[in-house]
Amino acid sequence: MHLKVCDREAVGVSAKSVSDFLMSEHFGKHELIEGSPNDRLAEIKFKRFGVLSISEHCFGCEAKLNALGSSENFHLQVVLSGESVVQSRGLIQRLRHGDSMMLAPHSSFTSTYSADCRKLIICIPASFIEQTAFEFGYRVHKGTIEFSFEKKRLPHSSSFICLLEAILQQTKDNSNDRGFMYYNKLLAHMVIGEFSCNLERYRQLPMSEHRLIERIRQHVLRNIVQDISIEDLSKVCRLSRKSIYNLCRRELGMTPLSYIRCLKLDSVYSELKQDDRVRNVTEVALKYGFTNLGRFSAQYKEYIGELPSQTFRKGVF
């Protein structure tokens, strides 16, 4: 597994040049301590793929990298050869060929490289991980998403490896913005499933890869606090009311209005759970168009699994 198609590549450069380039591309501020500062044996390949920044690099000497906790991204690190020891808050992980781990935004850590260590690092914006988790029905308790500080052995034959290979081989000519977003979202979703974290699945809203269902979903999310009718969806998709109804029944197993309601309930849950500015349940329910509070409470409990007041209390405390 290697970065076969890249935007930039440098061979026979200094370790400091690689370090400086990584910082310039927002891989996080760090201090590099080199074992052989005069050697020019370092290599780097870099690629931007949608919201992802991808680097494959080696320093060409024994090196120690002190990360200063300034990155806004999650780092998926995969050791392609050699060895790397990662330390943070008294915890130590020794990574060898085929080992991987997730490092959190703003985390301070030390990473040592053996002279033959080659790493693949994929930077995923924290906001994109959060958005993907929300869309796929995950929730996090009060606070931010955190992955366990532990390594994971990547199997040679798995859908996760296949996806990484596809991203590493994909050229910009073979994809458009929608294609980038599809791969980005799929990777973020698989990362959530593959690596231990503090997210839990709280509902299973039917998913569909149908382009019109995705268009409907995006329209609803963009107008989530507005009253949205089947006529609105008909205009967005350029279909009749009956065709919209049949599409949602076939692809989602529910009516268009039920789908809209579920997406709104997702947003209500997120706001009750994480927005410290919320004063009570009623104001949030009304904001998203739920005017019958008794019916809202029943629908919320059926879909989320608890009363909105329970969610609100958990968020407060």
The pLDDT value given to residue 202: 64
pTM (2 decimals)? 0.71
Tell me the pLDDT tens digit for each residue of 168-205: 998 876 667 778 888 998 999 999 989 999 887 766 67
Residue 123 has pLDDT above 70, yes or no: yes
The pLDDT value given to residue 71: 81
The three-class DSSP label of residue 162 is helix
Q: Identify which has the larger pLDDT, 203 or 47.
A: 47
Domain formed by 8-194, architecture: Sandwich (2.60)
Residue 70 has pLDDT above 80, yes or no: no
What's the rounded Cα separation, in Å, for the pair 56 and 104? 19
In the chain, the percentage of residues whose pLDDT exceeds 90 is: 66
CA-nearest of 253, 256, 211 to 229 is: 256
Residue 68's identity, in one-letter code, is L
Is the torsion defined by CA of 128, 129, 134, 135 positive or negative?
positive
What's the rounded Cα separation, in Å, for the pair 183 and 180? 5
| Beta strand extents in the chain (DSSP E only) | 8-13, 30-34, 42-49, 52-58, 63-68, 73-81, 83-88, 91-96, 99-103, 108-113, 118-125, 138-140, 152-153, 199-201
The pLDDT value given to residue 274: 74
Please identify which residue in the block is written with the tokens 């409990």: 301
Please identify which residue in the block is written with the tokens 């382009």: 211
What's the rounded Cα separation, in Å, for the pair 291 and 306? 19
CA-nearest of 16, 47, 43 to 32 is: 16
Q: Which two tokens stand for residue 102?
A: 């997730």
Residue 43, classified by CB atoms within 10 Å of its CB into exposed (0-12), middle (13-18) or buried (19+), is middle
Average pLDDT over residues 36-59: 91
What's the rounded Cα separation, in Å, for the pair 102 and 284? 34
Domain formed by 211-316, architecture: Orthogonal Bundle (1.10)
- The neighbouring-strand residues paired with 147 are 197
Tell me the pLDDT tens digit for each residue of 205-216: 777 778 899 899
Domain ranges across the chain: 8-194, 211-316
Query: With bands split at pLDDT 50, 70 and 90, how would you rate the model's confidence at 9?
Result: very high
**What mean pLDDT value characterizes the chain?**
89
Tell me the pLDDT tens digit for each residue of 214-242: 899 989 999 999 999 999 999 999 999 99
